[in-house]
């Protein structure tokens, strides 16, 4: 029998102490859902505290944005003593020159294996060591502290928050080989199967183009409205389609790097079409430098969100982290396999941190889809 997921809030004078409480009570599979500072009452002598909300495992609605809508039930169970070992601080051969306790070295080695930049790993561990102290011997607490740092660095924006409240037109753009058309089908599945919307899927190709896109066959299977539209007729197709459908998604052709004429054409068309959101697909195995080059190029059509694809082919998001942290664009979705509609997840700061940092074993963290 699968144990039910527990969600609980813990308060302490600082983040480090709150994380230790989470680890002790909820165990090594705990996932941090939220952190906030609580201010003392005007009529209380208590100090300001940090409140950490965590679950004993992935909550069932993680993929649909913040998982907690109400406070967790109180608990009178005592907090067990902190877990300690007898290992003295040692000098890390990988992370010079700071001397780290053994558990810090263990976490650092795991992060380097996940292709995170050495200088960033070293700076993270120094900050964690300053906050946690050298007496902390639990790698989970170290990793959880780093996860909270990452939550502040990576910009996310769950796109579906607005889909159910207003008719939306969503465009998907991206280079060839980055899973764009598959992402279109997965987004339509979310709108249809999970939000109860009637989608219209539009492929922006000539109506007589052969062979017929595979996306069209999937729409037939799911009984969704589907159209193939020439670029100049896109705005009118959206205007007529939105009258009988709740939600529209566009599969925009790839725009070759350097093709300024095509970029100007699509910029004008998308502006005329009054697009609600534009998602840029980038393969998770793409190097950070080339990913930034793609983002710079597709700024011509004003993307609103990143959509990371092929996460299953990458070793987490460690090597992709420099791009994610520097991109001035929030992450909306990530895909991690070919299965439609399941292999897609909406952005969530806890999951993003887990994918980047790992779970403490040698394998990549497994995303949880719809």
> What is the residue extent of each domain of the chain?
7-59, 90-153, 159-347
Is-contact 331 129, C-beta < 8 A? no
CA distance 33 to 59: 9
DSSP state of 47: P
> Residue 101: CB partners within 8 Å, gap ≥ 6?
87, 88, 89, 90, 129, 134, 136, 137
The whole-number pLDDT of residue 78 equals: 36
The whole-number pLDDT of residue 84 equals: 37
Element (H, E) at 158: none
CA distance 111 to 360: 9
Report, in angstroms and rounded to the nearest whole number, the Rg of the chain calculated over CA atoms.
Answer: 23
CA distance 140 to 106: 11
Burial class (CB in 10 A: 0-12, 13-18, 19+), 315: middle
Torsion of CA 310, 314, 319, 325, to 10 degrees: 30
The whole-number pLDDT of residue 361 equals: 53
Between the CA of residue 222 and those of 61, 137, 170, 217, 219, what are the distances in Å? 24, 52, 19, 9, 5
CATH class given for the domain over 159-347:
alpha beta
The whole-number pLDDT of residue 242 equals: 79
Per-10-residue mean pLDDT of the chain, 370 residues long, equals: 74 83 84 74 57 74 38 36 39 54 88 88 90 79 88 87 88 94 94 93 73 86 91 87 88 94 95 94 92 96 95 80 88 89 85 78 50
The whole-number pLDDT of residue 367 equals: 52
Whole-prediction pTM:
0.76
Is-contact 37 51, C-beta < 8 A? yes
* 126 token code pair: 């120094």
Across 19-159, the runs of DSSP E, i.e. the strands, are 31-38, 49-55, 90-91, 99-100
CA nearest neighbour of 80 among 23, 148, 10 = 23
């Amino acid at each position: 029998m699968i144990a039910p997921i527990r969600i609980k809030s813990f308060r302490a004078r600082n983040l480090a102490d709150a994380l230790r409480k989470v680890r002790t009570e909820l165990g090594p599979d705990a996932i941090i859902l939220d952190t906030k500072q609580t201010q003392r009452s005007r009529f209380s002598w208590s100090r300001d505290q940090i409140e950490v909300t965590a679950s004993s495992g992935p909550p069932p609605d993680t993929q649909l944005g913040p998982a907690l809508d109400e406070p967790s039930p109180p608990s009178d169970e005592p907090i067990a003593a902190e877990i300690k070992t007898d290992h003295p601080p040692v000098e890390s051969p990988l992370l010079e020159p700071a001397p780290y306790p053994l558990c810090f070295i263990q976490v650092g080695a795991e992060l380097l294996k996940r292709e995170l930049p050495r200088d960033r790993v070293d700076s993270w561990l120094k900050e964690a060591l300053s906050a946690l102290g050298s007496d902390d011997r639990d790698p989970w607490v170290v990793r959880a502290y780093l996860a909270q740092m990452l939550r502040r660095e990576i910009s996310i924006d769950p796109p579906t928050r607005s889909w159910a409240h207003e008719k939306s037109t969503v465009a998907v753009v991206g280079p060839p080989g980055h899973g764009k058309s598959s992402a279109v089908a997965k987004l339509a599945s979310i709108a249809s199967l999970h939000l109860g919307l009637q989608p219209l899927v539009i492929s922006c190709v000539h109506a007589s183009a052969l062979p017929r896109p595979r996306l069209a066959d999937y729409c037939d299977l799911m009984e969704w409205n589907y159209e193939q539209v020439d670029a100049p007729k896109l705005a009118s197709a959206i205007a007529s389609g939105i009258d009988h459908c709740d939600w529209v998604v566009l599969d925009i052709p790839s725009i070759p790097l350097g093709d300024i004429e095509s970029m100007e054409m699509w910029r004008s068309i998308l502006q005329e079409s009054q697009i609600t959101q534009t998602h840029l697909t980038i393969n998770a195995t793409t190097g950070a430098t080339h990913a930034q080059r793609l983002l710079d190029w597709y700024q011509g059509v004003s993307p609103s969100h990143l959509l990371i694809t092929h996460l299953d082919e990458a070793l987490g998001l460690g090597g992709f982290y420099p791009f994610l942290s520097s991109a001035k664009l929030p992450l909306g979705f990530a895909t991690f396999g070919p299965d439609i509609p399941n292999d897609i997840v909406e952005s969530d700061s806890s999951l993003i941190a887990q994918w980047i940092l790992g779970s403490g074993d040698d394998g990549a963290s497994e995303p949880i889809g719809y």
